[in-house]
Each structure stands twice: as C-alpha cells, then as structure tokens.
C-alpha cells in the first residue's frame, strides 16, 4: 500500500496466427520477405529497418517474422513502441540474448531522450553479441524520422533498409477478393468497395470482417450483397 | 512447431509511479480529478469518458486513477488500445469482475467491427455487474470519434464525460518550473522554452528530462544553462 510502488501489469500480446508471410499480399515486396525470413532464421544482416507511411503493413510483417522464427524454434520478442508511455525503457535490457527482436513503430519514441538512448544501447549490444537479429519499423526513413540523438540515427542506418508502399485501393480490393475466393465466397467488386469505404481500410480489419461475413452468410444461407453486409455489420 | 499456433507474449505494462494525481498539473480539471478518485474508490458513476486532443494528459490521468485504486487495495487493469492489432478482443472478457478498468485511446479501434462489438459487450457487462468502474479515453467526444456501431455510441454516451484541454505552452513552462523548483533546481524561462522547442512537448517527457538534468547538474556541479543542456542531452 505504499504510494510509490509502481503498478506492474502483464499484458498478453497476441501475435495473430493468420498474420504470416503466407497471408501477406507481397505486391513487389518479395525481396523484403526473403530478407525477413533470413532474419527469422538468424541469417543475413544483424539489423533491418522497415519504413512506410500509414497502414502499409509494417505490423503484419513484424508479426509474420516473429511467427516464422517461432516455427523455427527460435526465441522472439515483439514490442510495439506506441505504448512506451506505459513501459520503462528497461524493457529493452537483455533483449540481445534472444534470437529475434522486432520493435514496431520506433518513431513513437522520437524526441524522448531516455528512450532514444535505450534504443542506441540496444543497437550496440545487438551488434556486439552478433547472434540476435533486430527488425525495427517506422513511418519514415531513419534520417527523417525525427530522432534527436545523432549516434542513434547512425545506428539506425546500419544494415538493411526497406520502404514499404501502401497497397493501392485496387490492390486491396484484389487481395480481398483473392481471400474471399480462397474461402469459397463470391465478393463482388461493388461489395468490396463498399466495405473499404465504410470500415478501417487496413487489410487486417477487412480480412477480419470477411471472416465474419463468411460465417454469417453460411448461417443465413445468403449471398454477400450490400444489404446483407449492412445488416450483419450494423452499418 | 505447428504453423497455426498463435505466439503469445507477455508484456510488462508499467504504470509509472510518478504519474499520480499529485503530479498532475490540474489547470482547471479539479472536478475531473475528484470524479476519477471516486471511480478509483468504486463510487460514483459506473463509466467515465475522457476526451481531449493530442497530448492533453489522458494517459497520465488513467495511470493516476489505476495507481490510486491500487493504493486502495482494489484490482485494476489498464489497457492502451493503440496496440489492439497485437491483441485479441477476447482480452476484454471478464474485465467487469475487476474493481477498475481503464481503456486508453479507445478511438484506435473505430471502424474495426470486431473490437467495437467487444467494447459494446464490455459496457453492457460492466453496467449489469454494477461493481466495476470503467474509465475510457479518446481524442474526440463519443459522437464524433468515428465509431460505426450506433449501439456502442449510445453506451459511450452513458455516465460522465469530460473534455481535457491541452496545457498552453505557458502553462507547461509553469509546470516545468514548478517541478524544477520542487527539486531545488533553477530552471530559467529561456532554458525551459529551449527544452520545449527541442523535445517531445508532453510533460511526461519534459519531466523525465528534468530528472536527468537534475542528476547531471549535481554530478557536474553546473547550472542549467543552454550549453549544459545541449551537452547532456546530445541536442
């Protein structure tokens, strides 16, 4: 009951089992995927920096890399830095002992000197150790992400750098229709575009919704029309 | 080694022990603080909706409410929904059995139908149970946050609603100088403004930096001048 005791909670972070390399719509990022598979296997460059604006699939790829490394029996850690305010930078201590560390949205700690220094130190330990693969994601390239610490920026420039391009609406529609087809569902273009207009436009959400529509259409024995979709999703 | 087994990690979420009501610069939000203290004690309205743009201190207040409830020996749970992509909505199951649940940034799940439904169900269970206090935060009022599900919006409109106003730069400077003074440090206005220009402008970061400057100035036996600050923070 002391007023200074920090409250420590344990949050289950779940890597969705369907966010794998198999479910990633590559759209020209095949070289990146090969490189992430290497990192998951402990091969190739020590550090990889992925960047891309908005919902370009960074989280999916980091999840996929962790899932693949786990399948190979390797120790992994995934951390989304969007919640850094709820965590101590000490969470980065000792991560270099793992086989694979994926840090999502590292630009969330830009201009937070204590976090920038903790990242800088992690990079140094990872390189020194040599056995850990570190994959980080951000919305912008290392030089433009807004970090203060020049030594950190120089570390972020180590290794491999990839830019992810967000899928165009047409590519998203194609991915959605391909996914529907794999499930034996007929998703007309008009219905697909309706979903993309009304829901969060990332493929994760659209795929989740497709799963739900798949079940609902089986139960109701109805086709995926706009009225049926509206009714099912309360739109 | 099955490829479908979801990888489950446990992330330590740390509620900073210095993000309490005592360290909150109230600036006109005293009524809100009283109301959050009531929620932490299991009194007052069942649900509270806080909203405010940008870095208006939502996370600090949710942390403070949890810390205070813990001090009262009550069971709490804090969840930042910014990482919903790494979690299953099932994480909300059974939370109504706790004394206090704080969900930060709930608008991060707008237009994600599965999460919206999970939130809707949690609201219903919390109200039915009657013993749990639920405090949520978002960047906009419930009607304008962008939620799809009309039934969820009607639940979000239950209970108490507060708008947080971000501190003005002058108020931040005053808070920073007050904090420095409490530590026996003399923070000149010019130096304070320099920090606010160069670092992330939320008080959490500025306070962290002040702690670091405090230690560095003690070790180096130097005053907080701009050159000293630049050197210490690698700016």
The per-residue pLDDT for range A192-225, each reduced to its tens digit, is 999 999 998 888 889 889 999 999 999 999 999 9
* Residue B154 pLDDT class (50, 70, 90 cuts): very high
Which B residues 39-68 touch A at CB under 8 Å? 59, 63, 66-67
Domain residue ranges in chain B = 30-163, 169-233
DSSP string of chain B, one letter each residue: --TTPPEEEEEEEEE-TT-SSTT---TT-HHHHHHHHHHHTT-S-SEEEEE-SSSSSHHHHHHHHHHHHHHTT--EEEEEGGGGGGS-GGGGTTGGGSSEEEEE-GGGGTT-HHHHHHHHHHHHHHHHH-S-EEEEEESS-GGGS----HHHHHHHTSSEEEEPPPPPHHHHHHHHHHHHHHTT----HHHHHHHHHHS--SHHHHHHHHHHHHHHHHHHT----HHHHHHHHT-
Are B17 and A4 a contacting pair at CB < 8 A? yes
What are A197's two structure tokens? 């207009």
> What is the fold, at CATH topology level, of the domain defined by A30-163?
Rossmann fold (3.40.50)
pLDDT digits (tens, 9 = 90+) for A70-99: 999 999 999 999 888 888 899 999 999 999
ipTM given for this complex: 0.75
* pLDDT at residue A215 in the model: 92
pLDDT digits (tens, 9 = 90+) for A113-132: 999 999 999 999 999 999 99
* pLDDT at residue A5 in the model: 43
Chain B CB within 8 Å of residue A205 CB:
yes
Q: Which residue out of B69, B71, B83, B88 would a mutagenesis test of the A interface target, given it has the greatest number of A Cβ atoms within 10 Å?
A: B83
By DSSP bridging, strand A76-80 and strand A100-104 are parallel
Q: What is the mean pLDDT of residues B97-121?
A: 95
Of A78, A151, A235, nearest to B9 by CB-CB distance is A78
* pLDDT at residue A1 in the model: 33
Write the CA distances from B68 to A87, B58, B161, integer angstroms.
18, 15, 20
- State the nearest Cα–Cα gap between A65 and chain B, in angstroms: 11
| Residues from chain A contacting residue B77 (CB–CB below 8 Å) | 9
For residue A38, pLDDT over 70 is answered with yes
* Residue A158 pLDDT class (50, 70, 90 cuts): very high
Closest CA to A108 of A146, A82, A76: A82
What are A209's two structure tokens? 């919704």
Sheet (strand B76-80) strand order: B76-80, B100-104, B133-138, B47-51, B160-163
> Which residue carries 């160069």 as its tokens?
B198
Of A82, A205, A235, nearest to B82 by CB-CB distance is A82
Q: What is the mean pLDDT of residues A167-195?
A: 91
Q: Do domains B30-163 and B169-233 have the same CATH topology?
A: no
Q: What is the mean pLDDT of residues B118-139?
A: 97
- State the nearest Cα–Cα gap between B69 and chain A, in angstroms: 10
Give the chain B residue whose CA is nearest to the CA of A198: B111
| Residues from chain B contacting residue A110 (CB–CB below 8 Å) | 200
Q: What is the CATH number of domain B169-233?
A: 1.10.8.60
pLDDT digits (tens, 9 = 90+) for B78-100: 999 988 888 889 999 999 999 99
Give the chain A residue whose CA is nearest to the CA of B18: A4
* pLDDT at residue A54 in the model: 75
């Amino acid at each position: 009951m002391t007023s200074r005791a920090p409250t420590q909670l344990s949050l289950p972070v779940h890597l969705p089992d369907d966010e794998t390399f198999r479910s990633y719509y590559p759209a020209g990022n095949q070289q990146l995927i090969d490189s992430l598979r290497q990192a998951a296997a402990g091969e190739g460059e020590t550090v990889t920096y992925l960047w891309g604006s908005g919902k370009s699939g960074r989280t999916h790829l980091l999840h996929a890399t962790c899932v693949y490394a786990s399948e190979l029996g390797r120790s992994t850690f995934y951390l989304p830095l969007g919640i850094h305010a709820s965590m101590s930078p000490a969470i980065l201590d000792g991560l270099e002992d793992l086989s694979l560390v994926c840090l999502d949205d590292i630009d969330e700690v830009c201009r937070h000197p204590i976090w920038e220094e903790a990242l800088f130190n992690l990079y140094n330990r990872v390189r020194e150790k040599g056995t850990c693969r570190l994959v980080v994601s951000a919305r912008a390239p290392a030089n433009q992400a807004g970090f203060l610490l020049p030594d950190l920026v120089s570390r972020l420039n180590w290794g491999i750098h990839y830019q992810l391009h967000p899928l165009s609406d047409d590519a998203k529609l194609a991915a959605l229709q391909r996914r529907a087809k794999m499930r034996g569902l007929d998703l007309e273009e008009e219905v697909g575009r309706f979903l993309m207009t009304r829901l969060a436009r990332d493929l994760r959400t659209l795929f989740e919704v497709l799963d739900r529509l798949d079940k609902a259409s089986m139960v109701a024995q109805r086709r995926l029309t706009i009225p049926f979709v509206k009714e099912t999703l309360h739109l």
